[in-house]
Structure 1
Amino acid sequence: MARKPVMELFANHVKGMSLDSVRKSFPSACPEANPLDLYRAHLSNVLAEISGVAPSALYPVIMRPQGLDKGDFNIAVPALRLKGPKPDVLAAEWSAKFPVDDALFAAPIVNGSFLSFFVKPEPLSTTLATAGVVNRQLGRNDFNGLKDPEDPSQGRKRVIVEFSSPNVAKPFHAGHIRSTIIGSFTANVYEANGWDVLRINYLGDWGKQYGLLAVAYERNGSEEELKKNPIDHLFKLYVQINKDMKEENEAIKAKKEAGEDVSQLEANSLDEQARQYFRNMTNRDERTLAQWQRFRDLSIERYQKTYSRLGVHFDEYSGESQVSEESMAKMAETLKAKGVTREDNGAVLVDFTQLLPGKEGKQLGITLVRKKDGTALYLTRDICELLGRYEKYKYDHMIYVVGAAQNLHLSQLFKLVELLGHEEAAKKCQHVNFGLVRGMSTRKGTAKFLDDIFADCADYMHEKMKQNEAKYALIENPEATADILGISGVMVQDMSGKRINDYDFNMDAMTSLEGDTGPYLQYAHARLCSIKRRAALSDEDLDGADLTLLTETHATNVVRMLAQWPDVLKNALRTLEPTTILTYMFKTAHVVSSSYDQLQVVGSERELMRARMALYDAARIVLSNGMRILGLTPLERSVSGNTLEANEARTDNVAGYGAGDAYEWGVSGNPIVRVRRSRRCLPLGTDAGTVGWMPELARGGGAENSVCYGRAPRRSSVEFAGHSNYR
């Protein structure tokens, strides 16, 4: 049975609405990609009839609350800034006038000047679950990326995302992980919202240090070692020659202080050899450039192996070397001609305190663009690169994913480009910053490079997997699975908080089998894959499922969570915070996991089995899509030898499997079952009669006769909680 278009299904409940009418009335709505926008539009129209407020004024203030217990939408009446009666009076009046027979919403719940709205389950299941949730691209919104939504032929907006940017010939240091993870996420979010994305890796691939590296290779390099492990070999050479150069400089200094002639020593020093080598590179000497190019190519080849483990790719490998000395000299003249720079003892600087009045000038301060010896600094090079990209790509937006330590530098860069008369190019630029990772090391406590950390995490997860021999035997490539689990742990820890926050690298926490970790998220996805395998239903079976059979509270709550996904993805484009999506992923996993012993698949009546499996498959698709946007590789099988914690107990039947084969153990080591923990119970404070399918929590019942579902962490609210008697 083919799926009906979303509007056809929606029209069964609400007359007089069409996609065109919704788009025209509410320009920010994308009903094709986000069915909840149809609900917002309907609610705006109903409230407009009640209140006399224009629908277009109501639509923007219809918000999505944090938890399912607080409704599907809410309105803060004060946000409308209406004259007349107080907001709490208006809220009460509007609630009283809300039509009791509304097709989509139950009567709103009043809380002071706030109104909370719960969608009715039957239209939600048919309209949202049928039309959108099972769509394997659910959440993707190609309309957001159109230059002109009214005329798609105008094409898509282009965004450039620059991220990662390691230094050539040096190992991928642990400190680069934040730029790589956040940058890849940023690019993925824009892509999922319909933008044309160009991923650029701007390498640190130029400077005197490459002259020093070349000298080191000429002295002690090994062709065999270079081919075997180029990055490791070059880095060892670089470390050694820096040590040698330091000792040499100290010896020269001592001789000079003793009154000896050191001119010959200085002329033949390692430092001077490096300067001369780099001078030859800037003069385009073929031999030196060929060697530099080889080191660069070998470095990129090695980096790509690390990137592939992180699910990261680039469209372009650029770098400092791509900006010529001639273009920087020309830019220096332009800066001077525009009156932006001034000389100071032979150096060239920009004094923003003189160029810009007030606070802005003081914040930007004074910065060098060229040293006394004529060497151009990063700012000049970056101006050339920015303007070159704008001319080449005509970007609509460009994002630099760089640490917060570069806040001032990038602010100065954007302002200088503006002062040069390129306001359009400057205003389209954005700095996505992030904090530091403290104490990044292996379990042995030694500071290591990123590949070493990944290997350590993978080894740890592999040992855990081996503890369950039966399940371990089912994994086709256990080493690769362990690698993915370890990397998932690293990435999820990095994305768990706001990106601007510093955090302490904690390998024990990130590889933990408890709480909201990467291994747990992988388990949640693998668990859904397991259910689908055992149900043995085809996509055609699921496509024809009758989702109106999903009347249970748990089923409705799962649909409510999945229906939020397009909103979450759109919000992630606004915040550019990985935690926006990650938090939603964990909440969804908890709500889904709580349903397993209530919504049995195998063993259920055939049509009910198809409907429930369709719902679980929809959850699997949403988790998979979200994980890929975060940069995680979803696993279909994962195992662990852990036993249950003392405060969790097996149930006799989970998702339709008997007690003897209740769980396919995931890497979390914990089947997701009911957990009796009073600290995790959250009273709803709302009678079940208010919303027919809403769980009821006996007031004052306490921990003994209430139960919370899911493995919600102490730091976040439980999605729903209720008395053991569900309606």
Structure 2
Amino acid sequence: MTDAHANTLYLSFSPVCLPYAEVATYNLATSTQQSKPTLRLGLAQDLLSLHPTLVVPAGPLTTDKVKLVGKSSITRFFARAFKNGSSLYDEKPALQYEADKWFDAVRAGKGEAEAAKVADAIKAAASSAGDKFLLQNGAVTVADLLAWDAVRTQCAGSKDNKGVASWISAVEAVPGVKGAVELVDAANAKVHQLDVFRYEIIKQVSALTGASGDAIYPLLEEPRDAANGDLSLPLPRLKLPGNPVQIAKDLATNFKTNTLITKAASAGPFLNFSINREILRDRLLPSVLIQESNYGRNASGFGNLAIVEFSSPNIAKPFHAGHLRSTIIGNFIKNVLESAGWATVSINYLGDWGKQYGLLAVGFEQYGSDEELERDPIRHLFDVYVNINRDAEAKPEIHDQARDYFKRMEDGETDALGLWQKFRNLSIVKYKDIYARLNVSFDIYSGESQYSLNQMRNVLEELNDLSLLKPDAGALIVDLKQHKLGTAIIGKTNGSMLYLSRDIAAAIDRQNYYKFDEMFYVVGSQQDHHFRQLFKILELMGKPWSEHCHHINFGMVKSKDGNMSTRKGTVVFLQDILDNVKGEMHEVMKKNENKYAQIEDPEMVSDLVGISAIVVQDMAARRVKDYELDWNRMLSFEGDSGPYLQFAHSRLCSIERKAGFEVSPSVDYSLLTERQAHDLVDIISRWPDVVRDVTTTLEPCNVVSYSLKLSHAVSSALDVLWVMGQERPLAEARLALYRAARITLGNALRSIGLKPLERM
């Protein structure tokens, strides 16, 4: 994952600065390279931005991440970074001077007038047989590409001139140039349609008030009352000088309506807008059908790398319901970051070291069975762990035996490490089976054992050199009282290390290796204090990246009679939960014999529906809330639930199967005039907003709420907008609407880690 990220160039742009020249230069400059970086294209949120941006991650091309802004800078970078023997950018002083004049002319271009000057120069050059620069000997140069870009995008009239037209044709005949146009146009077609309307508003409001687009955009919201329009701007939050009520009236009077924005009206301090819903419908639906699984994705995280650490069970302990939240929330965070263009590295940081493994080894000698270990390692080791802890309560000397055994592990004794490695390997195999059921995978299985005593002693030395480490009653501490974080115990004076020292070593190691932009630890809220101490210590150690480390906390999972405990054996195994819910769902499915007979793999479907019930129930509320493991609630499939969402998706799939025809490219969307159709279009159009918002909030409940709202709208539409029995044009239009809804709902379900079902 990191290698792919380091070998990727991230180019983002707006519809007003289409990067034809940049992509064409990249294509030409890398045309002879056997191994070249990948170029990713994405639209910037600011649809009015005049400048494209290129992010070059730390890797083969640069030691540290570099951001280049501007068409000329990016084009020049490509031409110089990937020399292929051509004259794309000639280093000879005279030709370089001529090229730089072209760069400066294009960089300064501000519309039709400036672009026309470039076109005039091209026309003159095209008529000069002795010209030494433009298309010299049939070889295109960077100056050609920049000028061609300017004329193509800003000076449509000049293309009617025969000389200019022939020159454009000559440029576009060069292999790689035409391909650049196709790539850029395809990326541009993925524009967020609601943003087209928002930026039409921003353009005028910014011109009338002087407020920046960045300030206006996040304030545009849905009015509380739909009768007030489609978008609303609360003027007090814009903090303009004057009376917000009067400002709203003045703006409503001076705002010029057009084909996109059909009405502007004030309501107290609010400026409300109505958009052209027909244009939204006609642009949105074909866009969703073309994008399919990419619908809703954006480029806001282009060029950034995030580490997401989640799940992190303890080896030889059960993967219980308490790990469920970390697993599914962490997977969700990884998914939504990738939807926003981030590169991610998912890490399962296993609890695979410490005295408890000495205790487990002592217990295995008495209670262990190799056969049971092979058959079900996690459950058997759990039983051993519970039994030896019970014995240790009556015989404290067992803890001394455990410490001695763990000391043998730390000293690298082969027999001791061999048994530990066997426990670890067999447990990971079992964990992977459960993760596969949950549709979760990891890039890396790491663990506490990865960080040696030497690495942690290096941490101690660094803390000591910074005068942060102090001995205190047999412990080595960092005093954080002045930061209201108490005392952080790093290790002991006898040389043993605690979790905090390993976490410090792991964070430093990850930054050195991955050079991450953000790191997320998805761990329960009971560890809040631990992570505050960790991040503060990293800050005091002078690690500037410490502010980019985040603890994503969540509430505890409780049983009906209190918190669950591994040591006391009161844990409910997640595998048992999954199996029981699967069995319950299977029985429900059998009650409908006709539908059951149509399902190819009922076992698989019942498992996925059961997992959907668990995941949606868990994610229905904000993640900081505690979660009560209530079997009655878990096994209920009524109301707003995971099975309901899966049923909505499978119902939409069924409509497509039974329709018996495909939607033609020339579908007449104007036939979708009913209120239910407009409501469904409106909800579908807001999925990119949800993706963008949850990238910041990291709250899966927002996706669950959206999915339920979309499913309710689908149900309302299906009651009145039939496909079967309708004339073909109307049937096609409605089928296209339902396909767009199915694509959107499927993308939402996948973002929370579920596999959308086509039959159930």
Structure 2 length-normalised TM: 0.72
- Deviation string, structure 1 residues 335-380 (Cα, Å, up to 9, x no partner): 1121112112332111112xx4xxxx12x11121123543211111
Compared CA separation, residues 621 and 245, structure 1 to 2 (3 A): same
Compared CA separation, residues 625 and 20, structure 1 to 2 (3 A): closer
Mapping of residues 468-507 of structure 1, within 5 Å: 468-507=592-631
1:535 maps to what in 2? Answer: 659
Compared CA separation, residues 166 and 41, structure 1 to 2 (3 A): same
Q: In structure 1, how many angstroms separate the alpha carbons of the residues matched to 2:213 and 2:533?
A: 43
1:137 maps to what in 2? Answer: 293
In the alignment, which of 165, 168, 171 is matched to residue 312 of structure 2?
165
SS state at 2:291 partner:
coil
2:328 maps to what in 1? Answer: 181
2:471 maps to what in 1? Answer: 343
1:516 maps to what in 2? Answer: 640
1:431 maps to what in 2? Answer: 551
Q: How far has the Cα of 1:438 moved from its partner?
A: 2.4
In the alignment, which of 50, 73, 91 is matched to residue 248 of structure 2?
91
Compared CA separation, residues 403 and 306, structure 1 to 2 (3 A): same
Q: How far has the Cα of 1:613 moved from its partner?
A: 0.5
1:579 maps to what in 2? Answer: 701
SS state at 1:106 partner:
strand
Give the conservation status (yes or no) of the 8 Å contact 2:519–2:550: yes
Give the conservation status (yes or no) of the 8 Å contact 1:312–1:631: yes
Q: How far has the Cα of 1:614 moved from its partner?
A: 0.9
Give the conservation status (yes or no) of the 8 Å contact 2:15–2:48: no
Give the conservation status (yes or no) of the 8 Å contact 1:134–1:618: no
In the alignment, which of 525, 541, 566 is matched to residue 404 of structure 1?
525
- Deviation string, structure 1 residues 235-257 (Cα, Å, up to 9, x no partner): 112222222232323xxxxxxxx
Compared CA separation, residues 542 and 7, structure 1 to 2 (3 A): farther
Q: Which has the higher contact order (CA 8 A, sep 6+)?
A: 1
Mapping of residues 336-415 of structure 1, within 5 Å: 336-353=464-481, 356=482, 361-362=483-484, 364-415=485-536
Compared CA separation, residues 244 and 506, structure 1 to 2 (3 A): closer
- Deviation string, structure 1 residues 56-76 (Cα, Å, up to 9, x no partner): 553343234578666432100
Give the conservation status (yes or no) of the 8 Å contact 2:15–2:188: no
Mapping of residues 293-692 of structure 1, within 5 Å: 293-353=421-481, 356=482, 361-362=483-484, 364-424=485-545, 426-439=546-559, 448-538=572-662, 541-638=663-760
Give the conservation status (yes or no) of the 8 Å contact 2:15–2:47: no
SS state at 2:598 partner:
coil
2:416 maps to what in 1? Answer: 288
Give the conservation status (yes or no) of the 8 Å contact 2:320–2:571: no
Q: In structure 1, how many angstroms separate the alpha carbons of the residues matched to 2:651 and 2:475?
A: 63
Give the conservation status (yes or no) of the 8 Å contact 1:88–1:114: yes
- Deviation string, structure 1 residues 487-517 (Cα, Å, up to 9, x no partner): 1111111111111112333333344333211
Q: In structure 2, how many angstroms separate the alpha carbons of the residues matched to 1:179 and 1:133?
A: 34
In the alignment, which of 37, 49, 73 is matched to residue 24 of structure 1?
49
Q: In structure 2, how many angstroms separate the alpha carbons of the residues matched to 1:79 and 1:20?
A: 21
Q: In structure 1, how many angstroms separate the alpha carbons of the residues matched to 2:224 and 2:451?
A: 48
2:194 maps to what in 1? Answer: 36
Compared CA separation, residues 494 and 66, structure 1 to 2 (3 A): farther
Q: In structure 1, how many angstroms separate the alpha carbons of the residues matched to 2:51 and 2:683?
A: 24
Percentage identity across paired residues of the two chains? 44
Compared CA separation, residues 21 and 576, structure 1 to 2 (3 A): closer
2:240 maps to what in 1? Answer: 82
- Write the letter of the residue equivalent to 1:76: P
SS state at 2:263 partner:
coil
- 183-192 or 459-468, larger mean C-alpha shift: 459-468
Compared CA separation, residues 66 and 294, structure 1 to 2 (3 A): farther
- Write the letter of the residue equivalent to 1:512: S
- Deviation string, structure 1 residues 534-554 (Cα, Å, up to 9, x no partner): 11233xx35442223222222
Give the conservation status (yes or no) of the 8 Å contact 2:190–2:291: no
1:648 maps to what in 2? Answer: none
Compared CA separation, residues 53 and 380, structure 1 to 2 (3 A): closer
Compared CA separation, residues 69 and 401, structure 1 to 2 (3 A): farther
Q: How far has the Cα of 1:19 moved from its partner?
A: 9.0
SS state at 1:562 partner:
helix
Q: How far has the Cα of 1:51 moved from its partner?
A: 5.3
- Write the letter of the residue equivalent to 1:429: C
In the alignment, which of 236, 257, 263 is matched to residue 107 of structure 1?
263
Q: In structure 1, how many angstroms separate the alpha carbons of the residues matched to 2:561 and 2:746?
A: 30
Count of residues paired in the alignment: 581
In the alignment, which of 367, 370, 379 is matched to residue 232 of structure 1?
379
Give the conservation status (yes or no) of the 8 Å contact 1:19–1:32: no
Q: How far has the Cα of 1:307 moved from its partner?
A: 0.8
SS state at 1:63 partner:
coil
> Tell me, which stretches of 5 or more residues in structure 2 are unaligned?
1-13, 17-42, 54-186, 563-569
Compared CA separation, residues 117 and 167, structure 1 to 2 (3 A): same
Q: How far has the Cα of 1:473 moved from its partner?
A: 1.1
Give the conservation status (yes or no) of the 8 Å contact 2:296–2:687: no
Q: How far has the Cα of 1:224 moved from its partner?
A: 1.7
Q: In structure 2, how many angstroms separate the alpha carbons of the residues matched to 1:516 and 1:111?
A: 35
- Deviation string, structure 1 residues 252-288 (Cα, Å, up to 9, x no partner): xxxxxxxxxxxxxxxxx53333222211111111222
Q: In structure 1, how many angstroms separate the alpha carbons of the residues matched to 2:559 and 2:47?
A: 52
Give the conservation status (yes or no) of the 8 Å contact 1:33–1:566: no
Q: How far has the Cα of 1:95 moved from its partner?
A: 2.7
Compared CA separation, residues 306 and 597, structure 1 to 2 (3 A): same
Q: How far has the Cα of 1:20 moved from its partner?
A: 11
> Tell me, which stretches of 5 or more residues in structure 1 are unaligned?
1-5, 9-17, 147-155, 250-268, 639-727
Q: How far has the Cα of 1:140 moved from its partner?
A: 4.4
Q: How far has the Cα of 1:479 moved from its partner?
A: 2.0
Q: In structure 2, how many angstroms separate the alpha carbons of the residues matched to 1:392 and 1:434?
A: 28
1:223 maps to what in 2? Answer: 370
Give the conservation status (yes or no) of the 8 Å contact 1:33–1:139: no
Q: How far has the Cα of 1:192 moved from its partner?
A: 0.9
Structure 1 length-normalised TM: 0.76
Q: In structure 2, how many angstroms separate the alpha carbons of the residues matched to 1:564 and 1:27?
A: 25
- 570-579 or 36-45, larger mean C-alpha shift: 36-45
